[in-house]
Amino acid sequence: MALTALDTVAVTAFLAVSLSIFGRKMYLRLRYLFTAQRKEPRWDHLPTRVKNFVVYGIFQRKVAREWYAGVLHSFIFWAFVILGASVVEITAQAYAPGWRVPTPTIAGFSLSGPLYLAEEGIAALAAIGVGMALYRRYVIRPKKLMHEGMRDATIVLCFILGIVVSFLLFNAADAAAGAVALPEWKPISSAIASTSIFSSDPAFWWRTLWWTHVVLLFSFLAYVPHSKHIHIIFAIVNTFFMDLTPKGALKIVDLEKTETFGVNRVEQLSWRQLLDGYACTECGRCTAACPANATGKPLDPMRIITNIRDTLNDQGAAIVGGHVEGLPDMFETVHSDEGIWACTTCYACVYECPVMNEHVPKIIDMRRNLVLTQGKIPPESMDMLRNIETNYNPWGIGWDQRGRWAEGLGVRTVAEAIAANEPIDILYWVGCAASFDDRNRKVAQAFARILRKAGVRFAILGAEEKCTGDPARRIGNEYLAQTMIRANVTTLNQYGVKRIVASCPHCFNAIKNEYPEFGGTYEVVHHSQFLQELIREGRLTPTRDVLQFLTYHDPCYLGRYNDVYDEPRDVLHRIPGVRVVEMRECRDHGFCCGAGGARMWMDERTGEKVNHRRLSHIEETQANAVATACPYCLIMFDDATKTKNREDIRRFDIAELLERSLP
């Protein structure tokens, strides 16, 4: 079968127009991306980036976290990959009748047949995937997908369905005309060809279906850059350029060279941060996982990403032309400052994103602008920052009282140990909460007694320990945070500290992941990890029954940020008498207690309190206690149980339970 010369001219013109429309829009998108003022090189660690590209881009590992969406997207994605050869082959019919994609031959066996079979199979699966997607949107109607009109998604799905169906029908017409190559490897097309529909005029059907397929294909090409489905192009690119720095590390700000702190205009972002907008699939997973959004706060992580994209599209021409004066800033076009303050920095949005978008760094950048450039900050958090400035802790208690919790326990400071020429195995980083909060002092005391029983040679900094800078940094006060960080690094390096054990996940995360950028590189472990280590080495042997039916809460800065899930559970499982039941929202699906991101020092005036929602999850398990490994979480649970009159649900740190079991 062959097309006429007029067909060839027409399809060439159509292809040229489609490519022009596609190319012009893509050119603008790329030009806008590179208006970014902030430099961010992402070409390091190429082997790791290639691996991430394959795992998260090609095989879509994160998409599969939801099985239904994972199945349908896999069918559709692989249709685009595998049918690429057929697209070239069918289009080439206009210029070289009968041309086929060349395939290698192995041991005398041509791979053309398996390729055709794969194309037919994946086309059928893609049609099923489209059906699943339409059923999901119009019948299941999950809340996270109801944020947008159906038109754009429906148009794209209909395009995809039309392309794969017309492909199968064209192959059937090819078979009916007797022109198909290796018909035994095209079972679906051959079966359709055997029907009476193609018997009347095979040449007519061949030409009609060829044009149908080509028109759908080229129209889809022109349409994609104008829709949210531009992510088809950019999402897979995003996986290659994902952030390879530790999840818990914020980017350092050069306070001496920076004139404008944080961001309030899209061009102040980096090209990679802008790329997120074009990569976004608008699946809504980030917003669905957000504890602030779930409890009625005006924070929508997905809209931060998509509104950055839309703002860039709207303002791109003016930005490129240098006419930015008078343009609305990000707090008008991207997100309100009330929503930005609602973030607990729990990382659930970033963790759930299937295309590696980075929401939290953008939120912190916007907070930095509010605090350091605009001088705006929640009034109730001012005391916290003032306390850190004057007494080096958010509680505002005199810095010289930091070691009072250890009185009578025989705990030495590092300075005392060095003066006495006593060797030290670890530095116990107590943290502000365990030093100054009455409830968490008991945790520090329990942990210290455990260390002594295990024969661990340890010391504390005492009055020389300062806030790690976590709450100041997460609220946006980078200047104060860096002041604390540099002071602590100086102290730690002065004493030659090598190994640190921290009982606060926020301290643990900061010292482990952020201090190296400031010259502080140490081996840092969380106390749950250290306790597990002591038990496994036989230095601690829990033998006493602790009759407790409890559930374990995963602290965000321990779990999602640092992948510490098993160690605290292992400690609990080794305590005789303790029975653990998991919450539905646990491990990497865990729900925040509400204290992170300096939220512990901000009022919750809108919606349900996050710690109250988390308490309801605990209640669902019918456990009579909750264990955690974070002082912030313990404070939030104490507050929730008292406020909701559920003090019958007891609250523990894992160290307290372990100590009860030790002889």
- Which pLDDT value is given to residue 91? 87
**CATH number for the domain including 328?**
1.10.1060.10
User: Does residue 177 register a pLDDT over 80?
Assistant: no
Number of domains in the chain: 3
- Chain CA centroid to CA 375, Å: 29
pLDDT bracket for residue 145 (50, 70, 90): confident
Do 384 and 428 sit in the same domain of this protein? yes
Of 3-12, 277-286, 559-568, the least confident: 3-12
In a domain, 588, yes or no: no
User: Does residue 369 register a pLDDT over 80?
Assistant: yes
Could you give the 3-state DSSP secondary structure of residue 2? Answer: coil
Determine how many CB atoms are found less than 10 A away from the CB of residue 425: 13
Element (H, E) at 453: helix 438-453
Taking only the tens place, the pLDDT of each residue in 39-89 is 888 999 999 999 999 999 999 999 999 999 999 999 999 998 888 888 888
Contact yes or no for 40/271 (Cβ under 8 A): yes
Do 321 and 397 sit in the same domain of this protein? no
Q: How far apart are CA 533 and CA 528, in angstroms?
A: 9
Q: How far apart are CA 168 and CA 121, in angstroms?
A: 10
Q: How far apart are CA 143 and CA 387, in angstroms?
A: 42
In a domain, 354, yes or no: yes
Structure tokens at 314: 């709207």
In a domain, 61, yes or no: no
User: Does residue 33 register a pLDDT over 70?
Assistant: yes
Taking only the tens place, the pLDDT of each residue in 582-625 is 999 999 999 999 999 999 999 999 999 999 999 999 999 999 99
In a domain, 24, yes or no: yes
In a domain, 202, yes or no: yes
Taking only the tens place, the pLDDT of each residue in 210-232 is 999 999 999 999 999 998 889 99
Do 372 and 478 sit in the same domain of this protein? no
pLDDT bracket for residue 512 (50, 70, 90): very high
Q: How far apart are CA 81 and CA 604, in angstroms?
A: 48
Do 358 and 396 sit in the same domain of this protein? no
Phi/psi for 426 (5° steps) reads -140, 155
Do 285 and 410 sit in the same domain of this protein? no
Nearest of 510, 503, 513 to residue 598 by alpha carbon: 510
pLDDT bracket for residue 193 (50, 70, 90): confident
Per-residue HEC secondary structure of 215-230 comes to HHHHHHHHHHHHCHHH
Q: How far apart are CA 484 and CA 133, in angstroms?
A: 51
- Radius of gyration, alpha carbons of the chain: 30
In a domain, 438, yes or no: yes
Taking only the tens place, the pLDDT of each residue in 316-359 is 999 999 998 989 999 999 999 999 999 999 999 999 999 999 99
Nearest of 520, 584, 574 to residue 554 by alpha carbon: 584
Taking only the tens place, the pLDDT of each residue in 433-478 is 999 999 999 999 999 999 999 999 999 999 999 999 999 999 999 9
Do 28 and 128 sit in the same domain of this protein? yes
Do 18 and 142 sit in the same domain of this protein? yes
**CATH number for the domain including 124?**
1.20.950.20
Taking only the tens place, the pLDDT of each residue in 410-422 is 999 999 999 999 9
- Angle, alpha carbons 466-557-297 (nearest 5°): 105
User: Does residue 101 register a pLDDT over 90?
Assistant: no
Element (H, E) at 624: none
pTM: 0.93
Do 191 and 178 sit in the same domain of this protein? yes
- Which pLDDT value is given to residue 447? 98
Do 315 and 354 sit in the same domain of this protein? yes
537 Cβ contact partners less than 8 Å away, ≥ 6 residues apart: none
Could you give the 3-state DSSP secondary structure of residue 270? Answer: strand
Structure tokens at 500: 């640190």
User: Does residue 180 register a pLDDT over 70?
Assistant: no
Taking only the tens place, the pLDDT of each residue in 523-532 is 999 999 999 9
Phi/psi for 501 (5° steps) reads -115, 125
Q: Whole domain around residue 361: which residue ranges?
A: 266-376
Q: How far apart are CA 627 and CA 651, in angstroms?
A: 6
User: In angstroms, what CA-CA distances link 17 with 9, 11, 22, 42, 333?
Assistant: 12, 10, 9, 34, 34
- Among the three residues 500, 527, 552, which one is the final residue of a domain in this structure? 500
Phi/psi for 413 (5° steps) reads -85, 165
- Which pLDDT value is given to residue 183? 73
Do 387 and 361 sit in the same domain of this protein? no
- Among the three residues 466, 500, 534, which one is the final residue of a domain in this structure? 500
In a domain, 534, yes or no: no
Tally of CA atoms within 13 A in the half-sphere of 406 that contains its CB: 26
By DSSP bridging, strand 109-110 and strand 105-106 are antiparallel
- Angle, alpha carbons 555-559-564 (nearest 5°): 120
Contact yes or no for 118/82 (Cβ under 8 A): yes
- Among the three residues 240, 258, 277, which one is the final residue of a domain in this structure? 240
Structure tokens at 636: 């939030």
Mean pLDDT of the residues in the chain? 93
User: Does residue 260 register a pLDDT over 90?
Assistant: no
Q: Which residue has the higher pLDDT, 176 or 75?
A: 75
Do 304 and 173 sit in the same domain of this protein? no
- Which pLDDT value is given to residue 392? 97
Structure tokens at 494: 């002065």
Average confidence (pLDDT) over 486-503: 98
Torsion (CA) 42, 46, 48, 52 in degrees, nearest 10: 70
User: In angstroms, what CA-CA distances link 400 with 153, 273, 403, 442?
Assistant: 61, 43, 7, 19
- Which pLDDT value is given to residue 179? 63
Nearest of 598, 597, 600, 634 to residue 618 by alpha carbon: 634
Do 354 and 218 sit in the same domain of this protein? no
In a domain, 443, yes or no: yes
